Amino acid sequence: MKYTFDIVGISPVLSFFNRQIQSDKTQENFGVEYLGTHLCTLDAFISTVESVPPKSAWNMDEVVATVIDFWIKNSDSVRYWQSRLRDAGKDNLIVARVADINSLQSELELLLNKS
């Protein structure tokens, strides 16, 4: 299974947790997980990924390797988001998405069909 990791934005803490609760209630995004952390560091995201209950058939070593690979290959993007997080202040989180490729494709197709 192939995985993807992307930083998707900055969110107020309460908005992020409210969205997570709604997502858990509706069982949506199976195979797609949104992560939030106060720090935009590799260690913070690895720790956050490791604390997520594993999705069905996810190989957590490969998921962590995907996060590390993103960090190495996208240093400009990482610096950009680190700066945005500092600008946003302490009541905000940086939000990232980790997913298996097939689930992410299904989610995007569902979103396109809704519009």
Tens-digit pLDDT profile for residues 37-77: 999 999 999 999 988 876 667 889 999 999 999 999 999 99
> Residue 49 in 3-state DSSP?
helix
Share of the chain above pLDDT 70, in %: 90
Quick check: 29 pLDDT over 80?
A: no
pLDDT surpassing 60 at residue 28: no
Q: Which of 19, 27, 2 is nearest to 107 (CA)?
A: 27
The reported pLDDT for the residue numbered 87 is: 96
**Residue 85, amino acid:** L
Instruction: State the residue range of the domain holding 110.
Output: 3-114
Number of domains in the chain: 1
pTM for this model (two decimals): 0.85
Residue 87 phi, psi dihedral angles, 5° rounding: -65, -35
Residue, of 20 and 81, whose pLDDT is higher:
81
> Cα-Cα-Cα-Cα dihedral of 43, 9, 63, 99, to 10°?
160
The reported pLDDT for the residue numbered 112 is: 82
**HSE toward the beta carbon, residue 52, CA cutoff 13 A:** 29
Count of alpha carbons within 13 Å of 93, Cβ hemisphere only? 19
